[in-house]
Amino acid sequence: MSGHRAGPHFLQIPGPSNVPGRILRAIERPTIDHRGPMFQELAKTVLAKIKPIFKTTNPVIIFPSSGTGAWEAALVNTLSPGDRVLMVETGQFSTLWVELATRIGLDPEVIPGDWRRGVPPEVVDERLSRDPEHRIKAVCVVHNETSTGATSRIAEVRSAIDRAKHPALFLVDTISGLASADYRHDEWGVDVTITGSQKGLMLPPGLGFNAVSDKAIAASKTAKTSRSYWDWGAQLGQNPSGNFPYTPATNLLYGLNEACDMLMDEGLDNVFARHERHAEATRRAVRHWGLEIQCEDAREYSPVLTGVVMPDGHDADAVRRVILENFDMSLGAGLGKVKGRMFRIGHLGDFNDLLLCGTLAGCEMGLRMAGVPIQTGGVQMAMDYLTGNA
Amino acid sequence: MSGHRAGPHFLQIPGPSNVPGRILRAIERPTIDHRGPMFQELAKTVLAKIKPIFKTTNPVIIFPSSGTGAWEAALVNTLSPGDRVLMVETGQFSTLWVELATRIGLDPEVIPGDWRRGVPPEVVDERLSRDPEHRIKAVCVVHNETSTGATSRIAEVRSAIDRAKHPALFLVDTISGLASADYRHDEWGVDVTITGSQKGLMLPPGLGFNAVSDKAIAASKTAKTSRSYWDWGAQLGQNPSGNFPYTPATNLLYGLNEACDMLMDEGLDNVFARHERHAEATRRAVRHWGLEIQCEDAREYSPVLTGVVMPDGHDADAVRRVILENFDMSLGAGLGKVKGRMFRIGHLGDFNDLLLCGTLAGCEMGLRMAGVPIQTGGVQMAMDYLTGNA
Amino acid sequence: MSGHRAGPHFLQIPGPSNVPGRILRAIERPTIDHRGPMFQELAKTVLAKIKPIFKTTNPVIIFPSSGTGAWEAALVNTLSPGDRVLMVETGQFSTLWVELATRIGLDPEVIPGDWRRGVPPEVVDERLSRDPEHRIKAVCVVHNETSTGATSRIAEVRSAIDRAKHPALFLVDTISGLASADYRHDEWGVDVTITGSQKGLMLPPGLGFNAVSDKAIAASKTAKTSRSYWDWGAQLGQNPSGNFPYTPATNLLYGLNEACDMLMDEGLDNVFARHERHAEATRRAVRHWGLEIQCEDAREYSPVLTGVVMPDGHDADAVRRVILENFDMSLGAGLGKVKGRMFRIGHLGDFNDLLLCGTLAGCEMGLRMAGVPIQTGGVQMAMDYLTGNA
Amino acid sequence: MSGHRAGPHFLQIPGPSNVPGRILRAIERPTIDHRGPMFQELAKTVLAKIKPIFKTTNPVIIFPSSGTGAWEAALVNTLSPGDRVLMVETGQFSTLWVELATRIGLDPEVIPGDWRRGVPPEVVDERLSRDPEHRIKAVCVVHNETSTGATSRIAEVRSAIDRAKHPALFLVDTISGLASADYRHDEWGVDVTITGSQKGLMLPPGLGFNAVSDKAIAASKTAKTSRSYWDWGAQLGQNPSGNFPYTPATNLLYGLNEACDMLMDEGLDNVFARHERHAEATRRAVRHWGLEIQCEDAREYSPVLTGVVMPDGHDADAVRRVILENFDMSLGAGLGKVKGRMFRIGHLGDFNDLLLCGTLAGCEMGLRMAGVPIQTGGVQMAMDYLTGNA
């Protein structure tokens, strides 16, 4: 792949998403003293601006970390070694979270899934109802499963927990959902919401987030899992004055400040509607091609990404290679047990109609060049939808 | 148009073209002393690297100016008040150049044209043959007429001058052609080649260029039009040591250095082939829509832009407004006498297949939304062509 | 000079000045359609914001050019071939302006000077008084002579013209003065004010400016010097709608917008006081070193730069080389007839106390290393002054 | 502190250090697919380039984290709950590391110190010699104590361990030392070297590093402290193919690549000599002022920062405030038990002679303005030294 390639790369994986120039230029500002008044002003501003993105009035804690770190932070602050946690297999990321929980000494009980739908609220209800002794300490689910493109109905999972009258903590990973799909930390009674910077927040990777409920904070005071870097206590103590217990990732915070402004300027509801519209246009293209969508439940279609199932005998990774080489576009691979059997189109973040058309055109042309039998005209379907829903 | 708009703007006018991030970051470097050794090194490097882009071994002079300034420079250095110059009406820009020539005291004789083709070489031949006294001092033509999308056959115009055995200087404006369409200053015997930074060179506007032949330099020594800023003499004297007669636009020179590297890295022939391919794909879309292409001669189709003629009763500027509002894409307006009757799609510079598909999708959707009767499926035609010619 | 050098270069020539990161990042934004509504908004904003910097309510015209271009624009718009203009020799730049005037067909009469002071108002008065037939059509002076560091008393020159009851136009070059030294286009009755982007405006080079009086505009309607690029008419016609007669240097206009905000945010009076304070500190250092200041009249000391005269037998350029090699700092050379006999310290633009101390330290250390006999302690003198005048 | 301040902020805390524009522009490049071939190429390149900076041929592991995270990573990978670790109190950071060790379940034994010197090798030797049963599993020391400006003699500590014939692991924090002070992971037999991005590496904060010996890797296979994010295993498994176990901080890796090039281009020995020279110049200024240097042992003077002790009755933080307000310079506060009694001058990273002179001038002027009784002339002392040691 030597030689300059003209035009921008299309980064259509479901995150990291395309970082807008405005955010890159914000990040490029000189690093400042993280103990000085200018930084403290920035920190207080950003810590306030991020709350409405989570739809919470409670604190949001920011770590210099990946989203994986924020997963770990959520667990180690609220749980003790040996605690049982109920987790639901929705795809590769829920599976990795189970592994993490095991590694740090928790006892995950996993509701199995087929990777083609979100969390079944009724199954959560049923399982919790069979736990009168409340041995299950937390319910951990993924909001938008990045590996499949199924978005769980978090409000309904909350209702399921409530119906079971179960006191378990409710931990939700919305790493690839926040700021793309509607999400309501307070209204949905989530105790810890986990996210990262590189998806709907449109930043480069490097920040992990925990939005926390009062109940989660209370739990953190008795939880016995050892922790230091991830400890909420010092963060909650120092954040109100614009400080962090250790050196924060200052330049990404510049970018976060800008990202919050951009999201609020567009309007969160407009942001969500834009993502839904692009997702629907994408699905129309995929169906027209004659390909299956990985998510089987229309209520759970992801506004963030669309998983595309390959016909038998065709390797999704070969298609992705053809597209990368010919059209300079990165698509998401099938992960874990669906490796090679699907690819993922990201349509999130700093994205618009014409980029979507270019993206779908790249998919359609690449599928043809890779010899996958498809019906052409998918981009036209998407355009028809976009035109009729401008 | 308040509120943040997600995703990048599509700048699909035929220049300024989309400036790649790599060039913007180069331009962003701190300004340095334009009389110091580091700058002199840069200047010598850039003045050498720019020559192969013009396909010349002669000097190229760089002004802090627009392309209009470079037009003026070409004329005032080589001609004297009252000199007759033969100019050919190919569109709005050739017309503006005639006005400029008149304003500075030359005597332009204009071969009229219908704005739907390039310079007719045989008419040049015929006219020069009727000038045995060589009262015509220069032939001035536009290589790529930005207002119509017709690219004149410069080599054939050169042959026409030669056939007429006429000593006139040959001045060629390739402001929107250079580094997008094949261009050969030396081989085609051009005396002054004029260009600007903001088209195929992928820079922001702010630099004007004159590539000069020995004959042009000789003419500049006797030409009597008064000049100071545009004077070649001081430039030719100081450039070899990496200096300029007045403060140069240092930061744009950083960008020019980068642009030359990018063009050479991709390979000029690859650059030209890419533009031709995108132009052909565009024309297939336009024809499928049932719309006429402004340029009527297939030998003169521009690889840089495509002029699209509106059906009677439809205003091109209204279509452009719909597209700008709905799809955040800028297209070129019809200029001068074709205002409102056509629009122009730029497909030049830092551009690739997926941006082209997005661009054509924006045009097709916008035409429909503006109520222009078109046959949908133009993007599909373009994709079919691109797929078959990867 | 191979190998990476740590730390920033000190660009202490009297322009281009150090461009602040905030402006560089503004310039780095993507180029937009210069005929579209977003650009028109920008243009109208910038054309309004620049006026208070000149202290005028009249139009300011912006060219994609160097300051030299703006010099030419001022002359060709207001004067006719053969017109006599009174010019005053204050240094190299006034001399170059005379040459330019000659080249474009004017008839400059030069009041000679010794390069150690500004324009003597009484001599202007005296000369104009001897011109009862008003053959002198314009008085052309340099406000801040960049080659020497003498700032002419423009208000007093205006009074001199008034005392002589002479109708000559008053043209003032404040290329290196504007936004560093107090300047009042309207109050001082200047007809054309000339400046460039790369000094007090803190931008990279590439923009030239003419602020114009009603009288100048009236003169432009009858002036017979041929002109096209520099013509005010088209600019004045198109600017009010946010347009330019040819492609503007869009990205520098982004920077100009930012620069105006920065200057107004600091406050022009604070900007001027800062420059005066740094200039006084610099002069105290220079005097302590035992070196002479090029400007001999304390009323005319420049707040922008300080010219430092070398003792006999010492080459200023050798000192500058030592400083560049050892301390990565660029200083201004002696120009024209003072080449080698002086160097210039720029203390303008985006500059503060600690950069000044670093700058003076580099001068003092470099002078010693170059073997120039100086008394050390100059930086201390500057610090004492700064401390006492914080 | 409203209103724009002219000129750059002086960030003279001992880290984050001033990030050079070249690195900021590298970081500003668009984020790419962290699973794609272009990223893998970058990752392999960076993981190779970073090794010589640590002077190791062994792997270096990079976390998206602060330096504090890298501390934790070093401990949790190599030690088991209840393990005794020998730590030496050199200042605030060694103290914080002890707290961290305690928090994660280790049993630190602390050799007390007075914060005015580095690790006493002989005391380490003596203590280890009294541990014939090898209950001490690791010796943990800070190379460059950022809170005081004392640089421990790591080679001698290594010899002390060897003399005691003790098998303890040797863990060294060189968060503020690496790439400023000479450091030799392999030659000094260090098992885990810990650093962060925001000091000598000249990056914004956000990356933590562990360079690891074979012995450390072996220890990690049996260590029982639970860990997931910080686990070396997955990193060591995936890094060779250019992958990371979770999303890396891509944009900081762009910057790291650039930083390695800059350091190697200058030459590590030149980098170290530059820091030593600036530190010596700083100490001469401090002594001339009549103030005490926090570090009492000349063998342990830090090349990175200088701690300045205040005379009785004077508050260092008040001085810092005066300097921040008047000269826009941030200095390091006294931390922990020396709060208010000292301040710290950082002279590390992307730094040069003239910035140092500006920095010292700001200190000297600020001390005077704050009413601290000092002898002026400190900057002169520094300049004399710099001039004599160019």
Q: Is the peptide bond before B16 cis (omega within 30 degrees of 0)?
A: yes
Q: What does the alpha-carbon distance between residue C179 and residue C199 come to, in Å, rounded to a whole number? A: 8
- Residue C139 pairs with which residues in a beta bridge? C86, C170
Name which of D11, D64, D252 is nearest A33 (Cβ-Cβ): D11
Backbone angle region of A67, left / alpha / beta, with phi > 0 → left and psi within -120 to 50 → alpha: alpha
Instruction: Report the Cα C174 to chain-centroid distance in Å.
Output: 4
Angstrom distances, CA of residue C163 to CA of C142, C151, C166, C187: 20, 21, 8, 16
Contacts of residue C99, defined as CB under 8 A and 6 or more positions apart, other chains included, come to none
b/e per residue C51-66 (b: at least 16 CB within 10 A) = bebbbbebbbbbbbbb
Beta carbon pairs, C and D, within 8 Å: 143
Q: Are B295 and B117 spatial neighbours (Cβ–Cβ below 8 Å)?
A: yes
Q: A28, C30: Cβ pair inside 8 Å?
A: no
Which residues of A sit within 8 Å Cβ distance of C? 21, 25, 28-30
Chain A nearest C-alpha distance from B106 (Å) = 41
Parallel/antiparallel/unpaired status of strands D150-151 and B150-151: unpaired
Mutate which of B22, B31, B235 to test chain C, going by most C C-beta atoms within 10 A?
Answer: B31
| Residue at token pair 């700083």 | D282
Residue pair D206/D66 in contact (Cβ under 8 Å)? The answer is: yes
Taking any CB pair shorter than 8 Å as contact, residues of chain D touching chain B are 21, 25, 28-30
- CB–CB contact D357 C355 (8 Å): no
Q: Do C384 and D376 touch (CB under 8 A)?
A: yes
Give the Cβ contact number of residue D76 at 10 Å: 27
* Residue pointed to by tokens 């504090």: D68
What single-letter DSSP state applies at residue D50?
T
* Dihedral angle of Cα B319, B320, B325, B330, to the nearest 10 degrees: 160
List chain D residues with CB under 8 Å of B29.
21, 25
Residue with tokens 């080599």: B155
What is the rounded distance in angstroms from the CA atom of residue D359 to the CA atom of residue C379? 13
Which chain C residue's Cα is nearest to A24? C25
Cβ neighbours of residue B48 under 8 Å, at least 6 residues apart?
A: none
User: Which two three-digit tokens encode residue C317?
Assistant: 């350029």
What is residue A345's three-state secondary structure? strand
For residue B15, the distance in angstroms to the closest alpha carbon of chain C comes to 8
- Asked if pLDDT for residue A1 goes beyond 50, the answer is no
Return the DSSP state at D19. P
Nearest CA in chain B to C175: B247
Tokens of C14: 């009297």
Are C44 and C69 within 8 A, CB to CB? no
Which residues share a beta bridge with A307? A344
A362, A319 Cβ separation under 8 angstroms: no
Of all helices (H) and strands (E), which one includes residue C274?
Answer: helix C268-289
Is the pLDDT assigned to residue B11 strictly greater than 70?
yes
- Among B18, B22, B25, B251, most D C-beta atoms within 10 A, so best to mutate, is B25
pLDDT at residue C341, rounded to an integer? 98
Probe site for chain C from D1, D2, D4 (most C CB atoms < 10 A) = D4
Residue with tokens 């303005």: D369
Report how far residue C121's alpha carbon sits from residue A213's, in angstroms, rounded to the nearest whole number: 76
Chain B nearest-CA distance from D207, in A, is: 23
State the amino acid at position C332 in one-letter form: G
Chains in contact with C, counting 3 or more C-beta pairs less than 8 Å apart as contact: A, B, D
Chain A partners within 8 Å of D16 (Cβ): 31-34, 247, 250
Which residue among D350, D361, D365 sits closest to C7, beta carbon to beta carbon? D350
DSSP type of residue C132: T
Task: Using CA coordinates, name the residue in chain B closest to A390.
Answer: B326
What pLDDT is attached to residue A4?
Answer: 85
Q: Which helix (H) or strand (E) holds C45?
A: helix C37-54
Task: Please name the residue of chain C whose CA is at the shortest distance from the CA of residue D376.
Answer: C380
Q: Which residue of D lies nearest to C1 if distances are taken between CA atoms?
A: D266
- Only one residue has tokens 């009236």, namely C218
Decide if B214 contacts B89 (C-beta within 8 A): no
Residue B2 has pLDDT above 90, yes or no: no
Name residue B121's amino acid.
P
Strands in C120-217 per DSSP E? 136-142, 144-145, 150-151, 169-173, 192-196, 207-212
- Report chain B residues touching chain D, CB-CB < 8 A: 21, 25, 28-30
Residues in D touching B20 (Cβ below 8 Å): none
Contacts of C8 in chain D (CB under 8 A): 8, 20-21, 350, 352, 355
Residues B208 and B63 sit within 8 Å (Cβ to Cβ): yes
Question: Chain A residues with CB inside 8 Å of D246's CB?
Answer: 66-69
Q: What is the DSSP string of A201-212?
A: T-PPS-EEEEEE
Domains, in order of start, for chain D = 10-16+267-388 (3.90.1150.10), 21-264 (3.40.640.10)
Which chains does A contact via 3+ CB–CB distances below 8 A? B, C, D
Residue C287: its H or E element: helix C268-289
Q: Which residue of D has its CA nearest to A15?
A: D33
Contacts D327 to C, Cβ<8 Å: 352-354
User: How much is the pLDDT for C1?
Assistant: 38
Which of D271, D352, D380 lies closest to C376 in CB terms? D380
- C193: helix, coil or strand? strand
**Helices and strands, number each (H, E), in chain B:** 14, 14
The residues with which B110 forms a beta bridge, in sequence order, are B87
Nearest CA in chain D to C356: D358
Q: What is residue C326's three-state secondary structure?
A: helix
Judging by DSSP bridges, how do beta strands D169-173 and D192-196 pair with one another? parallel
Question: What mean pLDDT, rounded, does chain B reach?
Answer: 97
Distance from C-alpha of C304 to C-alpha of C14, rounded to nearest angstrom:
7
Interatomic CA distance for residues D112 and A26, integer angstroms: 44
| CA separation for the pair D22, D16 (Å, rounded) | 16
Residues C23, C204: Cα–Cα separation, whole Å: 9
Chain A residue nearest residue C24, CA to CA: A25
Cα→Cα distances D172→B182, D97, D139, Å: 61, 11, 8
Tokens of C346: 């720029």
Residues of A whose CB is below 8 A from C30: 21
Pairing label, strands B329-333, B10-12: parallel
Q: Do A377 and B380 touch (CB under 8 A)?
A: yes
Helix ranges restricted to H, chain B: 21-27, 37-49, 51-54, 67-78, 92-103, 121-129, 154-163, 214-220, 232-238, 250-266, 268-289, 316-327, 353-369, 378-388
Measured between CA atoms, how close is D257 to chain C, in angstroms? 15
Amino acid identity of residue C49, one-letter, is K
Q: What is the mean pLDDT of residues A339-345?
A: 98
Q: Among D3, D351, D387, whose Cβ lies nearest the Cβ of C7?
A: D351
Phi-psi region of A387 (alpha: psi -120 to 50; beta: other; left: phi over 0): alpha
Task: Find the closest chain C residue to B93 by CA distance.
Answer: C246
DSSP string, D136-189: EEEEEEESEETTTTEE--HHHHHHHHHHTT---EEEEE-TTTTTTS---TTTTT
Render pLDDT for B37-82 as a digit per residue (tens, 0 to 9). 999 999 999 999 999 999 999 999 999 999 999 999 999 999 999 9
- Cα maximum dimension of chain B: 65
The whole-angstrom distance between A385's CA and the closest CA on chain B is 10
Cβ-based contacts of C31 with chain A (< 8 Å): none
Helix (H) or strand (E) holding D94: helix D92-103
Residue A377 CA to residue A367 CA, distance in Å, equals 12
Q: How far apart are CA D309 and CA D334, in angstroms?
A: 9
The CA-CA-CA angle for residues C273, C277, C280, to 5°, reads: 140
What is the number of alpha carbons within 13 Å of residue C99 lying toward its C-beta?
11
Nearest to A354 among B266, B358, B369 (CB): B358
C-alpha to C-alpha distances, A336 to A95, A122, D7, D352, nearest whole angstrom? 9, 26, 53, 51
CB-CB neighbors (< 8 A) of C350 in chain D: 6-8
Taken in order A350, A353, A357, A358, the sign of the CA dihedral is: negative
pLDDT tens for residues A130-181? 999 999 999 999 999 999 999 999 999 999 999 999 999 999 999 999 999 9
| Chain B adjacent subunits, 3+ CB pairs under 8 A | A, C, D
Q: Which residue of A has its CA nearest to B353?
A: A327
* Tens digit of pLDDT at every position of chain C (390 positions): 346 899 999 999 999 999 999 999 999 999 999 999 999 999 999 999 999 999 999 999 999 999 999 999 999 999 999 999 999 999 999 999 999 999 999 999 999 999 999 999 999 999 999 999 999 999 999 999 999 999 999 999 999 999 999 999 999 999 999 999 999 999 999 999 999 999 999 999 999 999 999 999 999 999 999 999 999 999 999 999 999 999 999 999 999 999 999 999 999 999 999 999 999 999 999 999 999 999 999 999 999 999 999 999 999 999 999 999 999 999 999 999 999 999 999 999 999 999 999 999 999 999 999 999 999 999 999 999 999 998
Q: Which residues of D touch A330 (CB under 8 A)?
A: 32-33, 36
Which residues of chain B does D25 touch, with a Cβ-Cβ cutoff of 8 Å?
25, 28-29
CB contact under 8 A, C357 and D355: no
Average confidence (pLDDT) per 10 residues, chain D, 390 residues: 82 97 98 97 98 98 98 98 98 98 98 98 98 98 98 98 98 98 98 98 98 98 97 98 98 98 97 98 98 98 98 98 98 97 98 98 98 98 95
User: Which residues, including other chains, have CB under 8 Å from residue C2's CB and lie 6 or more apart?
Assistant: none
For residue B1, is pLDDT > 70? no
User: Coil, strand or helix: which one is A141?
Assistant: strand
